[in-house]
Chains A and B, each alone.
Chain A
Amino acid sequence: MRTSELVLIVFTIVFSVFLGYQSLEFNYFSNQGFGPGFVPLNFALATLALGVLIFLKFGKRRAQVDGDTFQVKEHLKAAIPPIFAVLLLIVAIYLMHFGSVIAPLFVVMMVISKTLLGHSLIRAFVMNLITLGAIFAIFNLWLGIPVT
C-alpha cells in the first residue's frame, strides 16, 4: 500500500471513530422513528469497517510493489511539489487572518512560479500580477466582494 493511501485510510478511520464517538451524544431513536444520531453513528461504523477492509485487501498486495526502495524514493520525490504547495498555503492562510488575502496569495504564487513551474522572476511577477489583477477586478470591482 502506498504511503499516501495509508495516510488517507488512517485519517478517514480516525475521523470516523471521532465522529462515531461524538454522535453518541445524539438520540439514535426519536418518538416515531430515528433521531439525529442515526445516520452519523451508522455511517461512522460503516466507514470504519470499509477502511479496515481496504487496508486488509490492498495493504498486502501493494506492499510487494512498493517494497522496492528505489520506487519508494521516486514516489516520495514526486510528492514533494504538492506537499510544498500545501505547506505554503498553510502559512499563507494563517497570514490571511491579519487582513489581506491578496498579498499572501501573491507571495505563494510567486514562490510556486519560481520553484515549481520554473518561471523566471520577471515572468513570474508579470504573469501573477495579471492573474491576480483579473481576479481582483472580477471579485472586488465587478461582484463587490471585499477581497483585498
Chain B
Amino acid sequence: MEAISNLMMGFGEVLTPYNIAIIFAAGLIGTVVGALPGLGPSAGIALMLPLTFGMNQVSGLCLLTGVYMGTMYGGRITAILINAPGDAPAIVTALEGYPMMKQGRGPLALGISAIASFIGGLFGLAVLIFLAPLIASYAIYLGAPEYFLLMAIGLATVMLLAGSSMLKALFVTCLGVLVSTFGSDYVSGQIRFAFVPEMIEGIDFVAIIIGLYGLGEVLYNLEKKLKLNLGKPSFRMKEFIPGRADLSEASGPTIRGSILGTVIGIVPGAGATVATFLDYALEKKLSRTPEKFGNGSIPGLAGPEATNNAAVPGSLIPLLTLGIPGSGGTAIMLGALIMFGMQPGPLLMTNSGDIVWAMIAGLVLANFFLLLSNVLLIPVFVNLLRAIQNNLANVVIALCVVGAFSLSYSPFNIWIMLIFGVLGYLLKKNDYPTAPFILAVVLTPLAENYFRQSVMLGQGSAMIFIERPISLIILSLMILIVVGTVFGRLRARSMRDMTSADE
C-alpha cells in the first residue's frame, strides 16, 4: 500500500499543465526518434538532455523517460509500414508486421502492436512500482564494498553481453574508463589530466553522449546514405481497432511477452533486443500454427511488442534501486540523475523518493498518452517522419552543436562533442559496441571512489570484499555470470566450428 501512496504523491507532483505538456511532447518526440532508423533510445535521450537544463528535476526526468518510452513505441511504425525497423528491438516486429502490411492489414498491425506495447509497458511499470521499494528497503545493509561490486557486476554483464567480440567490448570499456579519469579525483582531491581549465571537473558527460550517439550516428548515416521512402499510406481510423478475435489471439502472447520483457529488462546487459528475439522464439514454439510465423502472425507481432515495452520499466528497476544501468539508454539516464544532483545507488529512493516517484508517475502517464497517440496520430507521425527524414542530418547536427554549446556557453564542449562524434562514427563503422563505453564513463568515477574507500575501510586489504556476507554473495554472483558467459561463448564457438566442419 505504501507504494500506491508514494505513486499518488508522484502524481501530485506530475499533474501540472506544464509537466503534462512535457510528457506528451516527450512521447511524440520519442516515437518519431524511435521510428527513424539509425536513431535509437540512446540517441533520443542524449539529444534531449540539453533541453532539460532549464527545467526542474521532475520535468527534466519526465522528459527523458517519456522519450525513452516513446522510442520503444516508435520503432514499430517504420518496421510495419516499410520493413525498416527504427531500432533493434523492432526487427522482430518487421518479421510479422510488414507481411501484414503487404496483405492490407497494416492498420491492424499498428493497432495490435500499440495495444500490446501499452500492456507490456503497464505491466513493467506495475512491477517497477511494487518491486523497486522492496529492493530499495535492503539498501541500508549495503556499504562501499557492496556498492563497488554492484557497479562492477553491471559493467561486467553489459561488457560480456555486448556485441559479437568480447575483445572489442573490453577495449571500449577500458577506453571509457580512461576518459572518465579526467578531472578531480574525489578521494585525494588531486586533479588529473586537466590540460585546459575547462577540464578541471572532467569531460562533460553530456558532450560525450551527444557526440557519440547524435553526431556519430549522423556521420554513419551520411556514409550509408540511409533514406526512407514512406509513400503515402492512407488509413481509416476504424481499421486500427482490432476485433474481438484478433484481441483474443493477441492476449496470451501479450501477457507472456510482458512477463518475459520485465524479467529480462531487470537483468543488466540483456536488454529489449535479446528479450524480443527470445519471446518470438517462445511464441513460435508454443503456437499451434507455427507455419504462419513470418507471414503476418498476430501472436508473433503482439508478444515481442509487449516484451519490448515491458523491458523499459524492467531496466529501470536495477537503475533506481541499486544504481546499476543495464544498457546504453539507462546509463545515460544514470548520468542524467547525477546531472540533476541526485546520488544514484541504493539510497536514491530514500533520499530523492519524491522525485523518483514523480518520474514513475510520469512514465505511467506517458504510457497512456503513447497508446492514444500511437492509435490516433499515425498519419501525423508519418508526415512528421517524412518531413524530418529529408533533413535529419542537419536537424541532429544543429541539436548536437547547440546542445553542446549550452553546457558551458562556450565552443569548448562543441569540440569535445565533435571528438566523440568521430569516435562514435568509427566505433559504429567497425562494429565496436558503444554501450560498454558509455557505461564505463558513467560508472567508473563512482566505482573508483567506492573501491578506494573500501580498501581504506579494509586498512589496505582487499579481503573486505569477501569478509562481508553480502559482498561475498555479490562477488560470487559476478564470478558466476562471468564464468557462465565465457563458457557460453566458448561453447557457441565450438558448436559453430563443428557445424562448419560438417559442411
Contacts and interface: CB of A to CB of B under 8 A. Distances in A.
B174 interface: yes
B229 interface: no
Main secondary structure of the interface of A (DSSP, over half): helix
- Assign chain B's interface to a size class: 35 or more
B460 A47 contact: no
Contacts of B452: 30, 33-34, 38
A53 B430 contact: no
Contacts of A92: 401
A7 B422 CA distance: 11
Contacts of B432: 8
A8 B456 CA distance: 37
A50 B176 CA distance: 13
Contacts of A139: 50-51, 402, 406
Contacts of A35: 188
A40 B181 contact: yes
A79 B220 CA distance: 9
Given A46-B174, A112-B397, A97 B402 contact: no
B426 to A, nearest CB: 4
Contacts of A146: 409
A35 B429 CA distance: 37
Contacts of B411: 93, 96-97, 101
Interface in B376-407: 390-391, 393-395, 397-399, 401-402, 405-406
A30 B224 CA distance: 50
Given A54-B167, A54-B168, A144-B54, A8 B427 contact: yes
Contacts of A7: 426
A122 interface: no
Contacts of B53: 143, 145
Contact of A34 (B401, B415, B455): B455
Contact of A113 (B50, B174, B185, B391): B391
A65 interface: no
A30 B188 contact: yes
Contacts of A4: 426, 429-430
A86 B423 CA distance: 12
Contacts of B414: 93, 96, 101
Contact of B54 (A26, A43, A96, A145): A145
A97 to B, nearest CB: 6
Contacts of A113: 391, 394
B222 A116 contact: yes
A2 B426 CA distance: 11
B418 interface: yes
Interface string A36-51: 1011100110110011
Range for the number of chain A residues in contact with chain B: 35 or more
Interface in A40-92: 40, 43-44, 46-47, 50-51, 53-54, 57, 78-79, 81-82, 85-86, 89-90, 92
B171 interface: yes
Interface in B183-218: 185, 187-188, 190, 192-193, 218
Contacts of A93: 401, 411, 414-415, 418
Given A32-B459, A34-B455, A135 B192 contact: no
A143 B403 CA distance: 12
B402 A82 contact: no
Given A116-B222, A143-B51, A19 B193 contact: yes
A86 B456 CA distance: 46
B178 A16 contact: yes
A15 B185 CA distance: 20
Given A57-B167, A89-B418, A36 B188 contact: yes
A5 B395 CA distance: 28
A127 interface: yes
A145 B409 contact: yes
B394 A2 contact: no
Nearest to A144: B54
A127 B391 CA distance: 7
17 contacts: A15-B178, A19-B193, A32-B459, A36-B185, A40-B192, A50-B174, A54-B171, A78-B224, A82-B219, A85-B219, A85-B397, A93-B418, A97-B411, A105-B401, A128-B391, A132-B398, A146-B409
Question: Which 5 residue pairs across A and B have the least CB separation, nearest first?
Answer: A143-B54, A33-B455, A82-B219, A36-B185, A47-B174
